[in-house]
Amino acid sequence: MKYRRRTALAAALCMIVCTSLSASAATYDMDGDRNITVFDLVLKKREMMENPDSYALYDMLMIDSHILGLQNIPLYEPDETTTAPAPQWIIEPKHTVHTGQATYYTIGSSVGYYDLNTFARNNGLYTCAFNKKDFTLPIPAGAYLRVTNQKNGSSVDVYVVDASGQSKGSLDLDKSAFQQISALSAGRLNISWEIIPYPTDAPMLYSLRSSQLQILQHKYPIYSLEKRNADGSFSAVTRNVYGIFTGLKAGQYTFRITDIYGNIVVDTVTLVSGQSVAGNYNFPE
């Protein structure tokens, strides 16, 4: 099987950390500011999704991989005898329905992604742990799901606070959530679920603990976070597998936040260590 190097895309991704644009990389400078950032790549992906072909699908996979920090994936394109791999589905159509099974667990006081469990408890939310097969972690952190018992049609809305070893499509619900759709004696249920907007009209919250930032109360799962630099460009903020953005300190920032559907919010906020600070915006529904 033969592959050819995707020089244009490789150059474009390289330009995220370079200072000038080559002719090939310029095709990825979607906003024309001579800097290629996550914002440009999301816009480019939107354009490719309108007229997908095998090469466009492969480019979308590479864009996803780079934004998520998997920069060691080689940038190759298939020749005419090769089928391109499908893109990751972290930007999936809204209302996509998934199926699997549900079990239950007894919720603890401090488990889960950073302090999402505390946020859920303070806001009276049912919770769940998400399987590690459907999403590239930590994308589901803070997602809001509608879970339906396929046998009786009853449903419950749950907040994703942790990850579990469940199989693809499956969820581990907290005991109270499970009881909303079935008796505990069932033990395991066939379910369907979909991402729904978190029910709030309030802006996102920014919780800084030392140099670690957790964004809360977002309507949809966060895809990426960037901070504005002194020259007006944006650079990606590192995110670990627990959903925490690292390397930040108290002070004022202008952030560009992208959700899994490509919605983008630019928000200026002053972070205070040990506090949750309200921003100004949230993602649109």
Q: How many CB atoms within 10 Å of residue 221?
A: 22
**85 in a domain, yes or no?**
no
Domain boundary (171, 195, 219) is at 195
Regarding whether 170 and 107 lie in a shared domain, the answer is: yes
CA separation for the pair 139, 94 (Å, rounded): 15
**91 in a domain, yes or no?**
no
Which pLDDT does position 49 carry in this prediction? 64
DSSP 3-state assignment of 254?
strand
Section 120-147 average pLDDT = 88
CA separation for the pair 209, 248 (Å, rounded): 9
**83 in a domain, yes or no?**
no
Regarding whether 274 and 210 lie in a shared domain, the answer is: yes
Tokens 């390397």 belong to 247
Dihedral sign (CA 146, 237, 262, 61) = negative
- The DSSP-derived string for 219-241 is SS-EEEEEEE-TTS-EEEPPB-T
Regarding whether 189 and 113 lie in a shared domain, the answer is: yes
**180 in a domain, yes or no?**
yes
The residue that leads in pLDDT, 59 or 113, is 113
Tokens 């979607």 belong to 30
Instruction: Read off the tokens for 273.
Output: 């260590």
Confidence of residue 165 (pLDDT cuts 50, 70, 90): confident
Would you say 129 and 120 are in contact if contact means Cβ atoms under 8 Å apart? no
Regarding whether 59 and 128 lie in a shared domain, the answer is: no
Regarding whether 182 and 113 lie in a shared domain, the answer is: yes
Would you say 145 and 157 are in contact if contact means Cβ atoms under 8 Å apart? yes
Section 124-128 average pLDDT = 95
Instruction: Read off the tokens for 129.
Output: 């742990």
Regarding whether 211 and 180 lie in a shared domain, the answer is: no
Confidence of residue 217 (pLDDT cuts 50, 70, 90): very high
**Domain CATH number, residue 223:** 2.60.40.760
**89 in a domain, yes or no?**
no
**19 in a domain, yes or no?**
yes
Regarding whether 214 and 186 lie in a shared domain, the answer is: no
Domain boundary (195, 228, 263) is at 195
**221 in a domain, yes or no?**
yes
Regarding whether 189 and 103 lie in a shared domain, the answer is: yes
Section 225-248 average pLDDT = 92
Closest by CA to 221, choosing from 247, 248, 239, 246, is 239
Domain boundary (195, 224, 251) is at 195
Tokens 């940038």 belong to 75
CA 138, chain centre distance (Å): 7
**284 in a domain, yes or no?**
no
**Helices 54-67 and 7-14: angle between axes, nearest 10 degrees:** 20
Section 279-284 average pLDDT = 95
CA separation for the pair 49, 52 (Å, rounded): 5
Q: Identify the helix (H) or strand (E) that includes residue 171.
A: strand 171-174
Section 178-201 average pLDDT = 96
Q: Containing domain of residue 163, as a range?
A: 98-195
Which of 38-42, 90-94, 208-212 has maximum average pLDDT? 208-212
250 by Cβ neighbours in 10 Å (0-12 / 13-18 / 19+) ranks as middle
Total domains, the chain: 3
CA separation for the pair 246, 220 (Å, rounded): 21
Regarding whether 260 and 230 lie in a shared domain, the answer is: yes
Regarding whether 211 and 143 lie in a shared domain, the answer is: no
Per-residue pLDDT at 83 exceeds 80: no
Regarding whether 135 and 62 lie in a shared domain, the answer is: no
CA separation for the pair 226, 238 (Å, rounded): 9
**Domain CATH number, residue 190:** 2.40.40.10
Per-residue pLDDT at 201 exceeds 70: yes
Regarding whether 211 and 179 lie in a shared domain, the answer is: no
